[in-house]
Every structure is written in structure tokens, then in C-alpha cells.
Amino acid sequence: MDLNFNKNEDHNKLLLSDLKRKYAEIKLGGGKKRIEKLHAQGKMTARERIDYLLDDKANAIEIGAFAGEGMYKEHGGCPSGGVVIKIGYISGKQCIVVANDATVKAGAWFPITGKKNLRAQEIAIENRLPIIYLVDSAGVYLPMQDEIFPDKEHFGRIFRNNAVMSSMGITQIAAVMGSCVAGGAYLPIMSDEALIVDKTGSIFLAGSYLVKAAIGEDIDNETLGGATTHCEVSGVTDYKAKDDKDALDTIKGIIDKIGDHDKAGYDRKKSMRPKDQEQDIFGILPRKRSDQYNMMEIIKRLVDDSNFEEYKAGYGQTIITGYARIDGWAVGIVANQRKIVKTAKAKTKPSEMQFGGVIYSDSADKATRFIANCNQKKIPLVFLQDVTGFMVGSKSEHGGIIKDGAKMVNAVSNSVVPKFTVVIGNSYGAGNYAMCGKAYDPRLIVAWPSAELAVMGGAQAAKVLLQIETASLKKKGETITPEKEKELFDKIKSRYDKQVSPYYAAARLWTDAVIDPLETRTWISMGIEAANHAPIEKKFNLGVIQT
């Protein structure tokens, strides 16, 4: 190992340590005092409920743990978006579980809460996964009702999805383990089966105070919409549980009886660990996002037996394409190569070199053909992003870079096999799109702590923004000294750097998670297993493209 490897390793392990620290804070939800208050009421926290429900809490992945991170500060924050979502196994069957976190504003729905719940339902719909809702929510967060209530992808879309999933035969089970009020009361009742916990669970369109104000009726909440009322009088719920654990045990029993699902038929063999040391990833990945490295060395540490069958190895070398297995599953990998590659010409000038992380016409052409091959062979696609964008300049424009880039985007858009995206380093501009960014429907998209997502890199963007800022100030008659210019540049770059952080992206659900690189195989494997629940119903068709 060389000194540079050791420096890279130290840097990346510090990033990982920061990730673990942030996640530990997130898991506390609204804080220790609110957790204690919940326990005093005889209730479990959202995370405790999910852990109890799953066969093995360690064998699970969490969606959107950093949702809401740094947002809504004027409202006291919204850790994890006020809802915990995990994919794991219940009675041996893969499921997705959604649990309101009552320690965060009594489980009220912020705009990001709605977005996160819709993401869970999207995963369930795409993969035909059973979905379990553990309901404990005060409903819409009223100070922000205009941002959560009326639009297409707001609160009401949840119930629309309930109905759609029911028609698709996707199992939905809801347990009312606390408040379930107003419009939120429809969610459990639009599920296939509904449970309610005695004395702590309640369902009503309007609580006792609102009933008194609206129609003058005096009634307590338990009589109005408690477990006994809904299990013995209204018939709204199907099971009455004595406490949280009893409700969760009932769910386990229901899931246990579900029949097997139709399979998509993705190929899987016995899993093998990579031959090359997985821990080496931390030393291979450079400290600076502008530095070069060999993506092939990363791939070897992600795939079974470090065995990778490269497709068109000598052509379009700034994108690597090829076949491998991850945890036994056959995959097609499309990865950006960050190592500078010389062209086949005898005398290579700087203008004739291919710069790492940039997509050229030949690279885009290769990727398009490979994606088509994977669709023909029914092989899931894995995109490993470290991309600065498409090549610019007269040579590229005259060579048709826009046309070739459009073909690649077309292939990614129309792919019918499941796609999974890992943002390893840079994810800039149109490169994000071509390499299956969030807008292109990856089944799961995750980022490593080293990731950056933006239109362009921080230094370049800051220079552009600085030019605009200084021009504006000069128009106002202000003199810009070198010192003032540097101060402005540093201020702009600092602001921009916060926005390119993987946590900024995860807070807004542009990615599903920020993960330890060593968990990448688990995420992809569980994602393909989920996708295997949903047989492919469409044919791969590129439509009309420029040739």
C-alpha cells in the first residue's frame, strides 16, 4: 500500500464515521425525552415496532433515513421526515414497512413526510411488495398545510395509491397504534386488513373537541373512535390488539399465510464474496473529487468472486460496461471510468486524450448498445456514477455528442429491466440523467458519503456565480478588489458546497439513502429480490431515435 492509498483510506473512513454519527442522531427522532414519554404511555417507538416486526432487524435496509435533514428549522425540524421506512423480512417474506414516528410533532405530516410515504408506495407498486403501515399520526402539520394538502403528489395521493395497489393485488395491512385522524383515517381502512390497539389507537374523521364545536355533541375520544367502537360497533377495523406487540404478532401471522408471488425470473446462483479485499475501496477512492482512479478496481470489490466480463473493453473507454454477479444475482454494470485513457493514435496530444468521468460519443454509443443487450437478456442494470457530464467543444459537437447522448438517455428511459443506481463520486449535469439519476426511475438509488450531486462542481459553479455577482456589483458602481473577489468566491462556494453534499440530496429524497460503501452489495441484492416479485409486462422499445 502506498502513502496516497493510506491518505485516501483515512479520508473516506472519516466520511463513514461522520455518516454513522449523523445516523445515530437521526435514530433518536424527536429526542430521548419524547421517547421516554411514549414508553410511559405503554407504546413502542416507530423503530422499535419495525425491529420487533422484522425476522432479523439487521437484515433490512432503510429508505430515506436522512429525509428532512436540515429542513424546517423554523418549525423545530423533522428528523427522518417523521416516518421510518424499511425493507426487510416478515415471516420469511420480503415486505416494506412504514411507521409514523410519534416523537416528531406527534407524527404529523410535513411536505417531506408525504413525499417519503409516496416513495414507499412507489417501491411497493413497482416491485409488488406487501406493505405494512404502522399508524400513529396527528395528521397534516397545519402550519404547512398548503404544501401537503391539495396537489397531485401531496397527502391525497396516498389514498389514491391505496386503491390502485388493492386493484393490483398488492397486500396492504395497517395497524392503528395511536392517533389516526381526519383524512389520515382513510389510509388504514383502504388497506386490505386493519388492526387497532386497545386504549391507545383511535380512528375518527373529527376528534371530540371538533365534534363538540361542529354539532354540539359531548363524547370522549375512546367512545367516538377507539378499538371497541371500531371492532364491535362500526366494523371499521378487523382485529383488536391488547398492546403494540400483540398487534405486531397478528401482522406476522397474516403475512405468514400469504401465497407465493409470480417471479420475474432474474438469474441467481450461489453468492460469493469478492476475491479482492472490499475494505480496499476506502483507499482506492480518492480524497478529491477531481482526482483520477480506476473504477475497475472498485467493481472488482463489489462483484462476486471479483469476476467481471467486460463488454467492448477497448471502445468508448470512459464508460465501463460488462456482466457480473452481486450476491448471486446476474447484473449488467454501467460505470463511469475515472482513469485518463489515451486514444489509439500513435502520438497523443492533450486534445486527443479521453478525460476520466466524461461521457464521449463512443462511450454513450457503447452504453446504449449494452443496455439494449441487458434488456434482451432480462438482466438487471447497475449504474455506478462518477460523472462530470458529456464532453464539450467543437470536436464533440461536430461528432454528434448530443445525438449519441440522447440515444443513451433514451435507452435508460425505456429500459424495462430493473435499474439500480449508486452515486460513488460526482453526479453532475446531464451525466446524472444518462447514468440513471432519480428522474429515470431506478428501483433504488443510493449515495456513498463521497458523493456530490449538482449541475456542476463547486469550484466551477462558484466561478460562474462569481462572474454574475461581480458584474451586478460593478453595474451599481462598486469597486471589486482582489480581496473582495476572493471573499465573494469563498462565500458562494461554501453555500454551493452545502448543496452538493450527499446529505442535502438525501434530505430531499433525490436518493434513497447515504450508505456505507460496504453495504452496496446488500442494497443491490435486496433490490433485485424485490424486483423479482414483479414480472416484466412491457417490451423494450427505444421508439424514434436519431441514428
Across 39-122, the runs of DSSP E, i.e. the strands, are: 61-63, 83-90, 93-100
3-state secondary structure of 191: coil
Residue 429: what residue type? G
d(CA 342, CA 323): 24
CA distance 410 to 400: 15
User: Averaged over 4-23, what is the pLDDT?
Assistant: 97
- pLDDT computed for residue 346 by the predictor: 42
Q: What angle do helix axes 482-500 and 458-475 make, rounded to 10 degrees?
A: 130
Higher-confidence residue of 497 and 204: namely 204
- Does 425 score more than 70 pLDDT? yes
Q: Span 352-367, mean pLDDT?
A: 84
Residue among 381, 384, 370, 358 at smallest CA distance from 300: 384
pLDDT tens for each residue of 450-485: 999 988 776 777 777 778 878 887 788 877 788 877
pLDDT at 348: 43
Q: Is the pLDDT of residue 243 over 80?
A: yes
Please list the helix, strand and coil fractions of the chain in percent, rounded to the nearest 5, in that order: 45, 20, 35
Would the pLDDT of 350 be above 90? no
pLDDT at 223: 87
| Sign of torsion over alpha carbons 517, 521, 527, 530 | negative
Instruction: Give, as one character, the DSSP assignment of residue 317.
Output: T
Report the pLDDT value the prediction gives residue 73, as an integer from 0 to 100: 93
Instruction: Give me the percent of the chain exceeding a pLDDT of 90.
Output: 72
Backbone angles phi, psi at 330, to 5 degrees: -70, 135
Residue 283, pLDDT score: 97
Q: Which residues pair with 513 in a beta bridge?
A: 446
- Contacts of residues 306-313 at CB distance under 8 Å and 24 or more positions apart, as own/partner, are 306/274, 306/275, 306/276, 307/275, 308/333, 311/366, 311/370, 311/373, 312/366, 312/369, 312/370
| Percentage of residues in the chain having pLDDT higher than 70 | 95
Distance (Å) of CA 196 to CA 84, 271, 381:
19, 41, 41
Task: Say if pTM beats, i.e. exceeds, 0.75.
Answer: yes
- pLDDT tens profile 388-419: 988 766 776 756 687 888 999 999 999 999 99
Helix axes 111-127, 520-531, angle to 10 degrees: 60
* Between residues 494 and 133, the one the model is more confident about: 133
Counted residue by residue, the chain has a size of: 547
CA pair distance 65, 69, nearest whole angstrom: 9
Measured from the Cβ of residue 510, the count of other Cβ atoms closer than 10 Å reads: 18
CA–CA dist 187, 113 (Å, integer): 15
Lowest-confidence segment of 169-183, 283-297, 460-474 by average pLDDT: 460-474
Q: What is the CA radius of gyration of the chain?
A: 26
Q: Would you say residue 349 has pLDDT above 60?
A: no
Distance CA 475, CA 289 (A): 35
Strand positions, DSSP E, 190-230: 193-197, 202-204
| CA–CA gap between residue 465 and residue 470 (Å, rounded) | 9
Q: What's the mean per-residue pLDDT of the chain?
A: 91
Whether 443 has a pLDDT exceeding 70, the answer reads yes
The yes-or-no verdict on residue 9 having pLDDT over 60 is yes
Phi, psi of 73 (to 5 degrees): -60, -35
Query: Best-predicted range by mean pLDDT among 82-91, 178-187, 426-435, 477-486?
Result: 82-91
Quick: pLDDT tens for 57-84. 999 999 999 999 999 999 999 999 999 9
pLDDT for 343 equals 59
Range in 178-192, 220-234, 300-314, 384-398 with the lowest mean pLDDT: 384-398
Categorize the per-residue pLDDT at 502 as very low, low, confident or very high, splitting at 50, 70 and 90: very high
Lowest mean pLDDT among 140-149, 154-163, 330-339: 140-149
Give the E-state strand segments of 138-234 in sequence order: 172-181, 193-197, 202-204
What is the spatial distance between Cα 16 and Cα 8, in angstroms, rounded to a whole number? Answer: 12
